[in-house]
Structure 1
């Protein structure tokens, strides 16, 4: 999971890209990057860290131009420790192209071999995003190869290249890219797993500026209005002077957004594929309350409390439905990063006590129902339950707005191995024991899907792979998961790549 943002405007876009990227910071805290274009020239700055850490005033001054793309990175594939893997990525042939990617590919190794051996193109990192960029660049070359003017790229050439990319690339991807001298390209995988939305703003002179983003919340502070979602399998091209073209680039497409976007990743004030994330989470609380009522004696519950922040809408509606007091007993330190996003179990465990602080008076002598958005590895949940018990709670019930996460996610979420998942081969009773809770109640998958589909009946299906084990791309099997698990625990089993040069981007620590 990452955040992508792109813009074509009639004024310098550097500050707007920065502001939009900050609104997407929750989607990735590992690295950030911005590229702008002026004429046929790109201006790039990227590095490791959060947006405010990567960019200084001097960096912003060098980002010239009225068009650009931006990215915040959450590491799911490749070397998370290398700033060379910060996005966007750049290639110079056949046209200057920069690309930013949200998602994860499932046939990266196969594509790499094709890029390296057949296309004779060099990939400098372990990132699947750079592989995808080189596939796109190759298909652009093929698209113009039969043209009498091969250096002139048409809109049809661009859509043809996207169509070929979608035919070859498997997995989840929401893409924004700039082609030097031409404009901005945005497209989404045929299943629409990762979100991508289009916004626009009509200027005082009647001209129209466009923006594309992972979430529409990036638009609000810039006075852009949400126009619509980019469709599954659809491509959009916006010229540098603000003309917009769109095309459905694949015959086989269905809208199957990732359920985890609604459960956890997206901000509650976002609207994804026609669904208000806040309303979806509130409705999850009602369906979860019905199951809690079936599995726990409600008379035993004294108070309902959320584990901030994502679960708050669900917890409030659950408490209302059960007729129980809703209280805030855990206070979040907002200057600590999201523990689920932090790579490394030790880092996650250490940060829980820094991130949340209990109010003992809210727990003393009470039976508490804690509500969280999900339980993934269980590390955070166990730490929280122990804190609540140490604060004087008599009983601790734990309710999850999501079903049990039993299977790896291969589409851009950092839960790639079954061994890391607390629900893998465990029942709800066994999970409760593992996290030291008295009872654990999980949302039913059918109820979760219905709560979201009720808000937009036009959604064809969902990527529910981490709950159900059903992978919508159809290419993930037991052998694939075993290989993924082996590579996760054996860093040497990466792509068979040539010696790499680390073109790291340094970030100096000053405010000028």
Structure 2
């Protein structure tokens, strides 16, 4: 996205199934599990840069010795900082005994994080402050091993207040700011109940069956307990992604399939998807099984995972992103009146590159068909020069913009910042025929439109094109998210701003007041979750009308070049990504009632001029 928004969090779970001596003999290091955890986290680094954390549980530890360790960091490079500290402990040991690495038992006894159960997390803050205390994993400690718990996940919960009420707990200031704190208290509450009822034989499945149905949100959560039990569980709609792999050496889970494949060098079919409403359970002895803990509901896996968030190195995601671009080719060709001779294609930012390839393939398919038809129409009326000219026609592609990764917008004044933002990208001069060529640039999605207006459109204008067309591989983002992505303010969406502007232009501003009154009425009745009132804001307008207004909004007032915007359709999105039909950002069709409450609350905040989250 040219407009950066908060990404997803990432989860990494590792359970070693062999003694440490095995890994020492097989892989020449007892640190094999920690190395794999590091790889899983780095290969998901795209999912979190506010902080990171790791937790470890050691099995069969003598009474009185620590068995649960936890380390968190919000340093600029948090993963590197974590494993630097872990490695430093090892280096200190070697100062006193250079041969200690050959003695797995001694290593386990002296290294805090050399445990059989490992849990890693990458955080993008959506709730809570971006300080280290809000980094996952959270832990609970107790003298009874079974009542020790580390928990981390990729999720947002919408009903944290109700959760504290369920267990009769008055949350402190910290708990109020963290949905993980609420989830931890609920799970821990039922863990203690289960351990009291059956000491030493606690059934974690029954605990999760009681706790998980209470959570309103999308979630992929991992936990490790002091008695050696590990688990990962997923919401009933499958909103947040979850994958696992197991062999006789290890059981592993992560937020992305490609991360597991890379870290363990395994095939696509060896990595399984943890299905919605199910949990991966690893027992104290290392045996694992899959259990249903929530009744699976309609699958609503997040489509943004395929459009943008997950790494494109996953072969299915790569193909789907290409398909997103391909689906747009017909709209683009119509917009340029099929004049490929005077059209240049490019992409901004780099994450839109794969969709760009799909767009080019679609245009090439059209061009190749035209070549065939023209050549056949000639009959025998051609020469080598004429034939060569036709065959060598190509789609014009250029690397128009290059992001200057060294640029930092350090000036805080609005005027100065706006000037600096214009230069975040460098442009490639000499690529465009001035006042002749149309520039088509594809983006993953358009959220606020701020970067387009303040930087990209101005930058492209310096090349002197006749026209600029901005293409979004995602549909119009109209509604907030509340399941893990930090998009919860109505005023942040340029599609919403466009609809509001159109209402004002057409003398329909009273509709906003009517809808606001409806939201207040629902809120007072405790029924804010029953309908998405904000859908009515968009109802008076066609997609084309909104596209045109959005194009006006992203065009700086001092630029005279025609700017147009083309969005992916909902139908094409579903065709390209058939396994991820979660489209509430675009349609307002939320998978849980809490989504309606969030969008209506976000609208109330907008109407009251409050720059606050909708949850």
Short-chain TM bin: 0.7 to 0.9
Residue matched to 1:89 = 138
Residue matched to 1:259 = 303
8 Å contact 1:67–1:240 — kept in the other structure?
no
Provide the rounded CA distance (Å) in 2 between the counterparts of 1:152 and 1:123.
35
Deviates more, 1:443-452 or 1:242-251: 242-251
Instruction: Establish whether residue 79 from structure 1 lines up as the match of residue 151 from structure 2.
Output: no
In the TM superposition, what whole-angstrom CA distance separates every residue of 1:54-109 from its partner, at most 9, and x where no partner exists? 325333444221221111111111222x2210111111256111111102111122
Provide the rounded CA distance (Å) in 2 between the counterparts of 1:346 and 1:183.
56
8 Å contact 1:286–1:321 — kept in the other structure?
yes
8 Å contact 1:102–1:173 — kept in the other structure?
yes
Provide the rounded CA distance (Å) in 2 between the counterparts of 1:420 and 1:101.
26
Q: Considering only aligned residues, what root-mean-square deviation do their CA atoms show, in Å?
A: 3.0
Considering only CA atoms, is the larger Rg found in Structure 1 or Structure 2?
Answer: 2
Residue matched to 1:318 = 359
TM-score using structure 1 length: 0.83
In the TM superposition, what whole-angstrom CA distance separates every residue of 1:347-399 from its partner, at most 9, and x where no partner exists? 99798556532212234523210001100111122221211112333321110
Give the alignment of 1:331-346 within 5 angstroms.
331-333=402-404
Residue matched to 1:362 = 431
- Aligned residue pairs total 466
Q: 1:316 to 1:189 in 2, by over 3 A?
A: same
8 Å contact 1:37–1:180 — kept in the other structure?
yes
Residue matched to 2:446 = 375
Higher helix proportion? 2
Q: CA deviation at 1:476?
A: 2.8
Instruction: Establish whether residue 140 from structure 1 lines up as the match of residue 211 from structure 2.
Output: no
Q: CA deviation at 1:181?
A: 2.2
In the TM superposition, what whole-angstrom CA distance separates every residue of 1:425-456 from its partner, at most 9, and x where no partner exists? 52111111111261100000111011111xxx
Provide the rounded CA distance (Å) in 2 between the counterparts of 1:257 and 1:146.
37
| Unaligned ranges ≥5, structure 2 | 1-7, 21-30, 62-66, 90-111, 365-394, 499-545, 556-561
Q: 1:252 to 1:223 in 2, by over 3 A?
A: closer
| Unaligned ranges ≥5, structure 1 | 340-344, 454-458, 496-512
Residue matched to 2:82 = 55
Q: CA deviation at 1:289?
A: 1.0
Q: CA deviation at 1:233?
A: 0.4
Give the alignment of 1:23-42 within 5 angstroms.
23-39=43-59, 41-42=67-68
Deviates more, 1:123-132 or 1:366-375: 123-132
Q: CA deviation at 1:217?
A: 2.3
Q: CA deviation at 1:220?
A: 3.3
Residue matched to 2:574 = 449
Aligned partner (choices 468, 472, 478) of residue 400 of structure 1: 472
Aligned partner (choices 5, 10, 13) of residue 3 of structure 1: 10
Provide the rounded CA distance (Å) in 2 between the counterparts of 1:472 and 1:195.
15
TM-score using structure 2 length: 0.70
Q: CA deviation at 1:243?
A: 1.1
Provide the rounded CA distance (Å) in 1 between the counterparts of 2:50 and 2:422.
21
Q: Determine helix, strand or coil for the equivalent of 2:458.
A: helix
Q: 1:395 to 1:325 in 2, by over 3 A?
A: same
Residue matched to 1:199 = 245
8 Å contact 2:489–2:612 — kept in the other structure?
no
Provide the rounded CA distance (Å) in 2 between the counterparts of 1:351 and 1:35.
41
Q: 1:224 to 1:244 in 2, by over 3 A?
A: farther
Instruction: Establish whether residue 104 from structure 1 lines up as the match of residue 160 from structure 2.
Output: no
Aligned partner (choices 153, 160, 166) of residue 114 of structure 1: 166
